[in-house]
Amino acid sequence: MADVDEEDYVYFGTPIEREEDTSSRKRKAVAEAGTVRALAPWKQEVKDEEGRRRFHGAFTGGYSAGYYNTVGSKEGWTPQTFTSSRKNRSEVKKQSINSFLDEDDLKHIGGNALETSMQYDTFGFTAAEFARKKAEEEQKKRPSAIPGPAPDEIVLPASSSIGKKLLMKMGWRQSSSIKDSNAEALYEIRREARKAFLAFPSGNAEFELLEKDTVDTDEFPEMSTDVSCKSGNTPVYVLDPKQDMCGLGYDPFKHAPEFRDSKKLRESKSGEKNKGKIRMGGNLLSSSSGKYAPGFGIGALEELDVEDEDIYASGFFDYEQTEVELEPSTAVKEINGDNMLRLEHKKQASLLGFKPASDSDYKLERFRPPAIPPNFRPIHKFAVPLDQTLKDYNNAPPPDALRPEDANLRLLIDGSAAMVARCGKSIEDVYMEKSKTNPLFFFLRSGAEGHDYYIRKLWENKQKFVDESKQAEKLTSEKRGRILGERPLASTTFGGNVVSVKAREVINKQSTLGDTSTKPISLADLPESATKAFKHDPAKQERFEQFLKEKYQGGLRASGTISSTTTSAMSEANRARERLDFEAAADAIEKGKRNTQISAPSTDHAKDLLGFGEDRFVSSTFIENPETKEEATKAVYPKREQFEWRPSPILCKRFDLIDPYMGKPAPVPRPRSKMDSLVFLPETFKSTNREEAKFPVRGSLEASKSGLKEAEAEPSGTEADVAPTSPKNVERPVDLYKAIFSDDSEDEVADAGPTLNQAPDPVKSSEGANKTLNRLVAGDFLQSLGMELGLEVPPDNRPGPPLIANPISPPEQRESPKGDDRNNTALTEVEDTKSKDYGSTADYSREKKRSHSRHRRRRSRTPDPDSGSDSDSDGGHRSGSKRRRDRRDRSRNRDNESSDEASLYRKERRKKHRSRKHHEHKRKDYGDKHTDMKRRS
Amino acid sequence: MASGSELPVNESSVLKGHEGAVLAVRFNADGNYCLSCGKDRTLQLWNPHRGIHIKTYKSHGREVRDVHVTSDNAKLVSCGGDRQVFYWDVSSGRVVRKFRGHDSEVNSVKFNEYNSVVVSAGYDRSVRAFDCRSQSSEPIQIIDTFQDSVMSVHLTKTEIIAGCVDGTVRTFDIRIGREIVDQLGHPVNCISLSNDSNCVLASCLDSTLRLLDRSAGELLQEYKGHKCKSFKMDCCLTNTDAHVASGSEDGFIYFWDLVDASIVSSFRAHNSVVTSVSYHPKDSCMLTSSVDGTIKVWRK
């Protein structure tokens, strides 16, 4: 069955050979073929097609090896003479494909080898190519005058093409054009024919002539027209005729193709014919908008910016162009023309392959602007003023009217009444106009249905409108305040003439803000004329009064009230100066010298105050006074102002100057705008006093107050001595240290206060003292930090025993240190009362504090810096609350803790050092006096 | 006019070498050499007395607006449109350091007395001081109280003086830590110090030069006649402080008498805006530079 079936089928193609069909040996041989070939020759085995080794006899050696078991070489054992390869190296064999092919391959390949044939080279290209190749080959072999490959134009094909051959056979000659030769040939034939005709009888001659004419005109039109072509060969077109003086083959635009275009353009411009045909290529210098300085491009990574615009090319100057190729005079025009053309091109936006039409049918139709009637006024005025109409309706409320039943009508009346109320009489006129045609608006006419209602509605609307507008314009800050239930600020007036309304405003504001609870105390006990020493400057006057109050009332005073009197905008120096003025004035009052003229240095403070206040407050009662504005703008130039400015310590160092702000706290940033002041104030507030929650204003005032103290402390001699000795202190941010130590120093002061009751004004002086303490502490902190970090810290050269062994010092000074101290405190106290050496009381208290701390410290002095004994020993002195605050402080500055301890110790030591130094100074003075006295006696 | 005869009004030589506008030309400290900088992003060192070009310094990425050389002629500092201040070694012509920090073009730059600090003024409304002795390229001081572009900066031993387009001349006294603002009411284009450093000459954009007394801030004199409305131009006092010199936008040079503000001399020097004038510290010799790409040396 199966056979029958198979016979029925017809098979196409060859069946796929199955794997199993091939013998396993053969497969193995195929698989091994690769590996075997990789083996060394002597390891390879000879095998037949089936992969079997040839076995050539059990007795002759088994399997066959190379060269029939002789040796491993073709020559076998044949003896040979030795030839050294040293002299004659193996020559370089020229390898070709044949050397890699065996006979079989060659046999296969040999039949199909392709060769070029010259026979059908119609246009001679192949011949030219061939010739060029030949020439190149030859060139390699012999030296040539022209180095490098020969130019194509020089090499001509040696053989002529088949086409040329054909043409030659057809009678074409080298120097004549193809068409011509053809025509000429034909013409020749005809001529011959004509000659033959001429030989015929003359009766046919006329016909002949006619025929000739027709032939001439019909068949050879070019003969008559294109005579010039007759004799010449096809003209040789040279694409770029050489017109410049550059060397052969030199392309001046090789690296700057953008200039080629501009040159072409210039040429095309000079030759007027083909104008506008040049299309600009990608030009590097091209820019969308106009003028950029020629000559200098910008970097690839930079953008063309406004900065690159050529601001100087403003008309009266043309750059000298420096390109080699372009004439200088035309260069600029070139570029300008360039831009114009490009612009034009852009404008037309013609597609590739399209050309903008030279004359288009489309024309933009332009209309003349409408003629304005001569009596036209550009401002529209309502026929009846709005207020007038409002007033009318204000007065006479029309009688209440019934609303019409028709809901639509009612809506319409409501709407139009509202409209008329808002927009005035004119819109009513419009409606009236409408009512003539439209029955819907009949209600406008008197007597019609709904007219009364309309009148009533209109009146109501207007009433409402008036109320609204009234409210909108009358709601001032006062009213707002009243609505919100605020207490109106009591406005106090000052005696004497006032610099400006604004200034007074500000002062009012500040005083009311500062002490809302307490009224300014009138200095009744003092004569009026004396206390009004600064009459011309109310701000200053107020400060002065405050100063007097402080001075004569004395005692403890909440720090809050201090802040209300001074302004933070004042610079430290100004404040110091003013302070001195105040002192002088107060002295004058005291001594009863009423007629002394107290010169007020400047009105700077008032100005500062003004600027400061303006930024901060928006006055409630002050309505902007145009006159003051005028004054401000009319100010004569040049105007001089002074501000505080902080040079950085390193800048001072580089300029070889002493930093004027060395060791001073961070400045209060000058408020530039409202926003600035708002942003910065909390900062200063935080840094100055964290304890009390106050107004931000007050915080800043506080800061300025402390600054004032600082300024006062400055002129003292000891400060100047101490300050430059620690260049280390230069780079520290003072605030940080203050944040860490300010509480501590307060404690110190608090300690110092009760023990030294004799101090004239302990609270006031405490702030100045704080600052100096902070400064010292900060220095110590750096030192301790350096120690912790393992850096070498320069030793504190404190004056030791030599001080005591001072030969000049009197014998009682040479006693025990305790006695020494006592003497000194006594001395300072004495000086307190009489001397004017120091600008402020801060120094005295500081001195006291030092001497006091020295008393305390004597007991707990330990040589070990890490013991932290300071706080332990202090424990006895401190009250519970102080200690608690301390603890809080510590926890806040947890990371600074250890250094805190160490620095506390150091601070104490430094303080001692300072006081000792000072004592020494004093001692010297004293000693001198002593010796003087001795001498005198 | 007797006083006018000693003015450098005769063209001695022309220094050509810049491509495009020359934006500034400066004598060195002793007046033997001069430096110029311009729109072609180069600085050039010249001997103006012999009229020869010595060296070109290239590294700027944009136009160079100002240059200053140390008193020992060892270092240069230059600034310009690339927002950086370049600190050069004169002899090798290499950039030793680039000070960054300005947010915008830098208009003017100066060394301090000890050549240790470079102070630059920029369009970013700030004056910045850079430390030449440290490796840092960050400014050691930023003064940003200006309201507008700072055009010109000068240094004395203790002060930084800067003229600003907001119409102020600001003096920053390092010694006492104060900023003194002299408002002139007109944009200040250039400032120049008198040789005794007591006065400052400010060129304002209302075509007026104003002479201010520095200690009191008083206006001593105004000089008018030239044209200065839109370009950054220099002004200077002569070496004897007897005359005031300034360029003009129409290519003229003007000399005024310092005291009575009369125009002593004016002549056409260039084809275009005179960008810079620099007076010899000792002799009667002046350099002018212009947008037309030339630097001219003037002698009496």
- Which strands, in side-by-side order, build the sheet including B243-247? B235-237, B243-247, B252-257, B263-268
Return the minimum-mean-pLDDT range out of A204-218, A370-384, A427-441, B272-286: A204-218
Q: What is the pLDDT of residue A499?
A: 43
In this prediction, residues A833-838 reach a mean pLDDT of 42
Place of tokens 């409202």: A674
**Chain B CB within 8 Å of residue A316 CB:** yes
Residue range A3-15, pLDDT digits in tens: 555 567 888 888 7
- Give every CB contact of residue A808 below 8 A, 6+ residues apart in sequence: A924, A927, A928, A931
Q: What is the pLDDT of residue B86?
A: 93
A197 and A151: one domain? no
Residue at A440 is within a domain: yes
With a cut of 60, say whether residue A837 has pLDDT above it: no
A540 and A677: one domain? yes
Tell me which of A365 and B170 has the higher pLDDT.
B170
Are A637 and B202 in contact, with CB atoms under 8 Å apart? no
Q: What is the pLDDT of residue B33?
A: 92
Return the minimum-mean-pLDDT range out of A98-107, A228-237, A254-263: A228-237
Most confidently predicted of A132-141, A505-514, A798-807, B38-47? B38-47
User: Quick one: which of A577, A839, A581 has its CA closest to A714?
Assistant: A839
Place of tokens 């702030």: A767
A159 and A197: one domain? no
Q: What is the pLDDT of residue A898?
A: 46
Alpha-carbon distance values, A12 to A4, A6, A17, A874 (Å): 18, 13, 15, 117
With a cut of 90, say whether residue B109 has pLDDT above it: yes
User: Quick one: which of A676, A669, A602 has its CA closest to A640?
Assistant: A602
Q: What is the pLDDT of residue A98?
A: 74
User: Quick one: which of A918, A933, A919, A931 has its CA closest to A807?
Assistant: A931
Alpha-carbon gap: B140 to the closest alpha carbon of chain A (Å): 7
- Other C-beta atoms closer than 10 Å to the C-beta of A802 total 8
User: Cα(B120)–Cα(B126) distance, rounded to whole angstroms?
Assistant: 8
A701 and A847: one domain? no
Return the minimum-mean-pLDDT range out of A102-116, A811-825, B5-19: A811-825
User: Quick one: which of B129, B176, B285 has its CA closest to A571?
Assistant: B176
Which residues in chain A touch residue B202, judged by CB atoms under 8 angstroms apart? none
Confidence of residue A484 (pLDDT cuts 50, 70, 90): confident
User: Cα(A842)–Cα(A760) distance, rounded to whole angstroms?
Assistant: 10
Q: What is the pLDDT of residue B108?
A: 93
Report the residue from A295, A312, A647 with minimal CB separation from B40.
A295
In this prediction, residues B190-216 reach a mean pLDDT of 90
Name the token pair of A664: 């001073």
Report the residue from B112, B210, B271 with minimal CB separation from A317.
B271
- Sequence length of chain A is 937
User: Quick one: which of B193, B189, B134 has its CA closest to B164?
Assistant: B189
Q: Which of residues 155-214 of B touch A (CB under 8 A)?
A: 157-158, 172-185, 210, 212
A138-142, long-range: CB < 8 A, 24+ apart: none
User: Cα(A263)–Cα(A325) distance, rounded to whole angstroms?
Assistant: 8
User: Cα(B89)–Cα(B96) distance, rounded to whole angstroms?
Assistant: 6
Q: What is the pLDDT of residue A635?
A: 54
Residue at A289 is within a domain: no
Best residue in B136, B291, B292 to probe A by mutation, most A CBs within 10 Å? B291
Q: Amino acid identity, residue A234?
A: T
In this prediction, residues A255-282 reach a mean pLDDT of 59
A469 and A525: one domain? no
Confidence of residue A439 (pLDDT cuts 50, 70, 90): confident
Confidence of residue A229 (pLDDT cuts 50, 70, 90): very low
With a cut of 80, say whether residue A49 has pLDDT above it: no
Give me the total of CB pairs closer than 8 Å, taking one residue from chain A and one from chain B. Answer: 125
Instruction: Specify the DSSP element, H or E, that contains B112.
Output: none
Residue at A492 is within a domain: yes
Report the residue from B81, B117, B291 with minimal CB separation from A655.
B117
- The pLDDT > 90 percentage for chain A reads 0
Q: What is the pLDDT of residue B25?
A: 93
In this prediction, residues A347-356 reach a mean pLDDT of 66
Return the minimum-mean-pLDDT range out of A45-54, A546-555, A872-881, B116-125: A872-881
Is there a contact between A654 and B114 if contact means CB atoms under 8 Å apart? yes
Q: What is the pLDDT of residue A216?
A: 42
With a cut of 60, say whether residue A734 has pLDDT above it: no
User: Cα(B243)–Cα(B255) distance, rounded to whole angstroms?
Assistant: 6
Does a cis peptide bond (omega within 30 degrees of 0) precede residue A638? yes
Residue range B147-167, pLDDT digits in tens: 899 999 999 989 999 999 998
Q: What is the DSSP letter of A195?
A: H
Q: State the average pLDDT for chain A.
A: 57
User: Cα(A747)–Cα(A753) distance, rounded to whole angstroms?
Assistant: 10
Q: What is the pLDDT of residue B129?
A: 92
- The pLDDT > 90 percentage for chain B reads 43
With a cut of 80, say whether residue A828 has pLDDT above it: no
With a cut of 60, say whether residue A40 has pLDDT above it: yes
**Chain B CB within 8 Å of residue A652 CB:** yes
Residue at A660 is within a domain: yes
Confidence of residue A762 (pLDDT cuts 50, 70, 90): very low
User: Cα(A900)–Cα(A745) distance, rounded to whole angstroms?
Assistant: 13
Q: Which of residues 223-252 of B touch A (CB under 8 A)?
A: 231
Report the residue from A322, A573, A640 with minimal CB separation from B182.
A640
Alpha-carbon distance values, A507 to A503, A543, A619, A803, A899 (Å): 6, 10, 11, 54, 46
Q: What is the pLDDT of residue B163?
A: 92
Are B220 and B184 in contact, with CB atoms under 8 Å apart? no
Which residues in chain B touch residue A319, judged by CB atoms under 8 angstroms apart? 20, 293
- Other C-beta atoms closer than 10 Å to the C-beta of A339 total 19
Which residues in chain B touch residue A570, judged by CB atoms under 8 angstroms apart? none
Name the token pair of B144: 């940003």
A470 and A552: one domain? no
Is there a contact between A644 and B210 if contact means CB atoms under 8 Å apart? no
Q: Can you say how many angstroms the Cα of residue A428 is from the centroid of all Cα atoms in its chain?
A: 59
- Enclosing domain of residue A499: 485-714
Alpha-carbon gap: A509 to the closest alpha carbon of chain B (Å): 28
Tell me which of A555 and A105 has the higher pLDDT.
A105
A661 and A679: one domain? yes
Specify the number of domains making up chain A. Answer: 7
Residue range A75-112, pLDDT digits in tens: 666 677 777 777 777 766 677 777 777 777 777 766 66
- The pLDDT > 70 percentage for chain A reads 26
Is there a contact between B141 and A640 if contact means CB atoms under 8 Å apart? no
CATH number for the domain spanning A459: value is: 1.10.10.790
Instruction: Specify the DSSP element, H or E, that contains A121.
Output: none
Is there a contact between B117 and A644 if contact means CB atoms under 8 Å apart? no
Which residues in chain A touch residue B218, judged by CB atoms under 8 angstroms apart? 638
Name the token pair of A681: 């104030």
Return the minimum-mean-pLDDT range out of A486-490, A831-835, B19-23, B186-190: A831-835
Most confidently predicted of A61-65, B2-6, B21-25? B21-25
User: Cα(A291)–Cα(A308) distance, rounded to whole angstroms?
Assistant: 9
Which residues in chain A touch residue B128, judged by CB atoms under 8 angstroms apart? none
Residue at A240 is within a domain: no
With a cut of 80, say whether residue B28 has pLDDT above it: yes
Best residue in A308, A321, A655, A710 to probe B by mutation, most B CBs within 10 Å? A655
Give the chain B residue whose CA is nearest to the CA of A659.
B175
Alpha-carbon gap: B161 to the closest alpha carbon of chain A (Å): 13
Q: What is the pLDDT of residue A637?
A: 74
User: Cα(A426)–Cα(A448) distance, rounded to whole angstroms?
Assistant: 21
Name the token pair of B183: 């408002």
Is residue B101 packed enough to be buried (19+ CB in 10 Å), middle (13-18) or exposed (0-12)?
buried
User: Cα(B157)–Cα(B175) distance, rounded to whole angstroms?
Assistant: 10
Q: What is the pLDDT of residue B69?
A: 93
Return the minimum-mean-pLDDT range out of A40-49, A612-621, A730-739: A612-621
Confidence of residue A377 (pLDDT cuts 50, 70, 90): confident
Q: What is the pLDDT of residue B201?
A: 92
Which residues in chain A touch residue B173, judged by CB atoms under 8 angstroms apart? 645
In this prediction, residues A751-777 reach a mean pLDDT of 50
ipTM of the complex: 0.88
Residue at A238 is within a domain: no
In this prediction, residues B127-133 reach a mean pLDDT of 91
Q: What is the DSSP letter of A888?
A: H
Report the residue from A307, A311, A655 with minimal CB separation from B112.
A655
User: Cα(A181)–Cα(A188) distance, rounded to whole angstroms?
Assistant: 10
User: Cα(B119)–Cα(B116) distance, rounded to whole angstroms?
Assistant: 10
A161 and A188: one domain? no
Domain B3-299 CATH class label = mainly beta
User: Quick one: which of A281, A335, A330, A334 has its CA closest to A310?
Assistant: A335
Confidence of residue A887 (pLDDT cuts 50, 70, 90): very low
Name the token pair of B199: 């006065």
A867 and A831: one domain? yes
In this prediction, residues A628-653 reach a mean pLDDT of 72
In this prediction, residues A420-433 reach a mean pLDDT of 75
Last residue of a domain, one of A126, A144, A169: A169
Q: Which of residues 101-160 of B touch A (CB under 8 A)?
A: 105, 112-114, 116-117, 129, 131, 133, 140-141, 143, 145, 157-158
Return the minimum-mean-pLDDT range out of A230-244, A618-632, B154-168: A618-632
A504 and A571: one domain? yes
In this prediction, residues A762-791 reach a mean pLDDT of 58
Residue range B175-185, pLDDT digits in tens: 888 899 998 88
A523 and A558: one domain? yes
Q: What is the pLDDT of residue A81?
A: 78
Report the residue from A642, A643, A656 with minimal CB separation from B114.
A656
A453 and A526: one domain? no
H/E/C letters for each residue in A23-59? CHHHHHHHHHHHHHHHCCHHHCCCECCCCCECECCCC
Q: What is the pLDDT of residue A209?
A: 44
In this prediction, residues A346-373 reach a mean pLDDT of 73
Instruction: Specify the DSSP element, H or E, that contains A89.
Output: none
Confidence of residue A904 (pLDDT cuts 50, 70, 90): low
Which residues in chain B touch residue A295, judged by CB atoms under 8 angstroms apart? 19-20, 40
User: Cα(A602)–Cα(A536) distance, rounded to whole angstroms?
Assistant: 11
Are A890 and A739 in contact, with CB atoms under 8 Å apart? no
Confidence of residue A206 (pLDDT cuts 50, 70, 90): very low
